[in-house]
Amino acid sequence: MPSKPSFFRIISNDYVTYTCIAFPLICLIVILVSSFLTAGGTAIFLLFLVIGSMIAGTIVVARLALFYRIFNFGTGVEAVISRVVCFRNQISVSLQYGYQGELRTCKQIFLKNAATSRYSVGDEVVVLIDPNNPQRAVIKELFQ
């Protein structure tokens, strides 16, 4: 039986998902603050919120579907972390793994937190490989 990814762990570790969820909330705060500070002009912010939320929501749904597909149908293999770059609140990790007789590399961007900050070059991790795109893999333990 395939394992399932944790919704909370996807949001707390995946940079793209987190950003797309935070974006509409930040827009809403801007609208509320601007409505108290100015008599008008919030219509454009409201339109921005609606359009931005629709785009961000679509991205979140697509990312969640990707994680669930990889966890349901992906192949688990050992990978080696070949590069780690920290920048502000994010960490970029490059992974190398063998799949279908080829050495492959993928890069992931995570939120910087206790779970993601512990990775360093040379660490071995289990990744799940997207069967539709073997260049895409996720570190299993981060999202389970």
Query: pLDDT tens across 82-127, in order?
Result: 999 998 889 999 999 999 889 999 999 999 998 899 999 999 999 9
Domain count, the chain: 2
Q: How far apart are CA 67 and CA 42, in angstroms?
A: 36
- Note whether 41 and 84 are same-domain residues: no
Question: Is residue 2 one of the residues assigned to a domain?
Answer: no
For the entire predicted model, the pTM comes to 0.82
Buried b / exposed e over 60-91, threshold 16 CB at 10 Å, is beebbebbeebbeebeebebebeebeeeeeeb
Which of these three, 50, 72, 94, is where a domain ends? Answer: 72
Q: What are phi and psi of 72, to 5 degrees?
A: -80, -35
Amino acid of residue 142: L
Q: Are residues 85 and 136 in the same domain?
A: yes
Same domain (yes/no): 66, 80: no
By residue range, what is the domain housing residue 15? 7-72
Specify if 1 maps to a domain: no
